[in-house]
Every structure is written in structure tokens, then in C-alpha cells.
Structure 1
Amino acid sequence: MPVREQKVKMDDSTEERIKAAARIVFTKKGYQATKVRDIAAEADINLSLVNYYFRSKEKLFQHVMGEVIDKLFATITQVLNNEQLSVQQQVEQLADHYIDMLLKNPDFPLFMVNEIFAGSDELLKDNRKNAIFESHFFKQLAALQKEGKMHIHPIQLMLNLIGFVVMPFLARPLLERNKVVKSNQFVAMMEERRKLVPMWIKGMLK
């Protein structure tokens, strides 16, 4: 095998090790408490290699969260455009997917808020906007509004759905620091929320 090809494969492997380690440490410690040396230790590599590949903790965090966004949109797009599902079934599946993703990536809401207020359109770049606002699900909601079966704008319902799921994760650090809830209690609350969110959304469709 040519030397150059060997080097590329080694580089790819090192980069993947760093990203895998970063996902573990960010999830365990949170973005603020994580140090680059923690990620290097988890990946069992030299600290300078992390800086060489990603330059900073912020850049690495953005890269890892970018992959989370890609996976999330790939999943929810299938739900949003599944014409075999009713609106209520789609809401149930969307709530499930969002909660699963946020339990695995608890710092994602922080990333999302920072990106929005920094003026970034990362969350709706490429075809993501159309994937949501031109989806079968969104058209179903628009039809319900036109028929008088839903008295709020479809965007209101979408914002409520996202807010019901995301807001608890934004509040989680404050709640846990002040011992309002423990970590295992929060997870149990979110498991309960899988059933509650679709019930709340259903009430808006009457």
C-alpha cells in the first residue's frame, strides 16, 4: 500500500477516535466542564493531536453537534414525509426521536441556542428548511387549519412541539445544580414526557 494512502487511513482513524471520545466526554461532563485534555485522555492520544485536528474545544463541539444535526434531520425527515402515518402518530414519533437524541446529546440545546444567537443558519442550511416546512406533515397541519379543525398556525404547533421537548433540557443544569431534581429523576421525567407531549399537542388539534 502506498505510504500516502496509509497516512490518510491513519489520519481518518485518529480523527474518528477524537470525535468518539469527545461525544463521550461532552455527554458525561457537559460542554462547559470539559477540557481538551479530558478528550485527549479519553481518546488515549497526545493533547497536541486534538488541537491539530480541531484547533479548539469549540470547533470540536461544533463538529460533533453538526453530525448530531445531520442524523436527527435524516431521521425526522422520514417521519415528516411518511404518508402512512396520521398527524398524531407523526407527533408521537417526533417526540420520541427528539427525546432520544437529547438524552444522548444533552448539550445540543446549548449548541442550538448559541448558534441561533450567533447569527448562524446551520440548523436550517441546505434543504433542511424545505424538509420541514414543505413536508407532508406540515401540509397536513395547513389543511387542518384551512378546514377549521386546528385554530393555530402550523408553525405555532411546530414551535410548541419543539419547546415541550427542548426546554426541559435547557433547564436541566439549573434544576440539578439546585437539587430540584436528580439526574435519574430527570431521565424518568423525560420518559414520562414521551406520553405527555403527544397528549398536549393533540389538545391543540381539537
Structure 2
Amino acid sequence: MTRDKINTEKKILEAARKVFLKKGKDGARMQEIANEAGINKALLHYYFRSKDKLFIAIFDEALDEFIPRIGSVLNSDMSLFDKIRDFTNHYIEFFIENPLLPLFIFHEIRNNPDRIVKLAGQSGVEPILFAEEISRAVDNGLINPVDPRQLIVNMISLCIFPFVGQPLVEAFLFNNDDEKFADFIEIRKKEVGEFIINSIKK
């Protein structure tokens, strides 16, 4: 691919992120994305034949960065508690950097769940190994009895919900104040990990 093509594709992806973030996938229009990128609609369709293909391209780009980051934590030699702290911190930080990612994840879970599992496997992320580590910690008396699957789902849910439910959370708890919500999320990077650890430590 030539440098011009790479630059054009990058410009399209950046424009699409902005439009998807404002309008959501269903509300976004290819013409809006073309306008944001400063190109005509025909050129946009040359690079990405449909809105779905463009949406998936952004999703893949984000996951290519996100999954290895999480995998490096889960596959590390850190203690269980440090893994929980780093996992929740990285998870929330990445959603701050990529606010569209929760939308992408739910889109793919609904439409193509096997794809996420495959991408995770290719990146070396193996939740079953983390679950086994939790089980060993229970067996060795290091933490309170807990179903590892419940713990992992709790970790993910506590990280992702404020982003998925941001309009409601902002409206009900922060009177639609974006800055206060951002401060809340920043504190949550540490809060979630400590909350989970306190729920299982002896």
C-alpha cells in the first residue's frame, strides 16, 4: 500500500471514530464520515464498502492494542492482587483512551462472539489460566472461597458498566457534568481493584 493510501485510510478511520462517537453506529452516515475526512463518498466506498466494514476496522485496530495489554498482565509473574489492580487499571484506562470500544465489544458480542474469542486466543489471552490461579489461591487459603468465573465477570463488569451506561450515570449522579464524570472514572481506576481485593482477601 502506498503512503498516500495509508494516509487516506488513516484519515478515514479517524473521521469515522469521531462520527461513531457522536452518533453511534446506527446513527452514523457514510456521507458524514466522508465529510469529516474531507473526501468524497465514492472514495470512502473505495476504501470501505460499507459502514459495517468501517466499524469492524476500527474495532480490530482497538482490539489489536487492547487484548495484548490485558494478556501481558494476566500472563505475568505478578501476585494475584497486583494482577487484579493492573487488570482493572489497564481496562479502565483503555476505555478512557478509546471510548468507542465498549460499543464495539457489545456489537461483536451480539453479532460475532466467536471472533472475539479467536482474537483473544491469537493474542495469548487465556482466562482459564487466570481462573486456575484464583482456584489455587482459594485452595492455599490465600483468599476467601470464590468461584473464579464469578470473580472474573465481576472484574470486567465493574470496569465496563460506567462506560456503557455513561449517559445514565452522568445524568443521575453528576447532573450531566462531563468533568465530574471524568474525575469519577479516574478515581475508579484504583477504586475497582481495591474493592475486588477487599472482597476476597482474608
Q: TM-score range by the shorter chain?
A: 0.7 to 0.9
Question: 1:180: how far off?
Answer: 4.0
* Residues 130/145 of structure 1: CA separation in 2 closer, same or farther (3 Å cut): farther
Q: How many residue pairs get matched?
A: 198
The aligned residue for residue 52 of structure 2 is 58
Q: Deviations over 1:131-161 (max 9, x none)?
A: 23254x4442121122243311212111101
Question: 1:103: how far off?
Answer: 1.6
| Aligned amino acid, residue 166 of structure 1 | I
| Aligned amino acid, residue 105 of structure 2 | M
**In structure 2, C-alpha distance between the alignment counterparts of 1:80 and 1:160, rounded to whole Å:** 16
Q: Check conservation: 1:27, 1:104, Cα contact below 8 A.
A: no
Question: 1:46: how far off?
Answer: 1.3
Query: Structure 2 regions of 5+ residues with no counterpart?
Result: none
The aligned residue for residue 92 of structure 1 is 85
Question: 1:166: how far off?
Answer: 0.5
- Secondary structure of 1:131 counterpart: coil
**Structure 1 segment 1-206 matched on structure 2, within 5 A:** 8-83=2-77, 85-126=78-119, 127=121, 131-135=125-129, 137-148=130-141, 149-176=143-170, 180-206=175-201
- Secondary structure of 2:113 counterpart: coil
* TM-score of the superposed pair, with normalisation by structure 1: 0.83
* Residues 195/177 of structure 1: CA separation in 2 closer, same or farther (3 Å cut): closer
- Secondary structure of 1:161 counterpart: helix
Question: 1:162: how far off?
Answer: 0.5
Question: 1:130: how far off?
Answer: 5.8
* TM-score of the superposed pair, with normalisation by structure 2: 0.84
| Aligned amino acid, residue 190 of structure 1 | I
Question: 1:60: how far off?
Answer: 0.8
Q: Check conservation: 2:17, 2:58, Cα contact below 8 A.
A: yes
Q: Which moves more between the two structures, 173-182 or 151-160?
A: 173-182
Q: Check conservation: 2:93, 2:189, Cα contact below 8 A.
A: no
Q: Deviations over 1:72-109 (max 9, x none)?
A: 111111111110x2222221211121112212222322
**In structure 2, C-alpha distance between the alignment counterparts of 1:86 and 1:48, rounded to whole Å:** 53
Same amino acid, percent of matched pairs: 33
Q: CA RMSD in A?
A: 2.5
**In structure 1, C-alpha distance between the alignment counterparts of 2:171 and 2:44, rounded to whole Å:** 30
| Aligned amino acid, residue 181 of structure 1 | N
Q: Check conservation: 2:89, 2:193, Cα contact below 8 A.
A: no
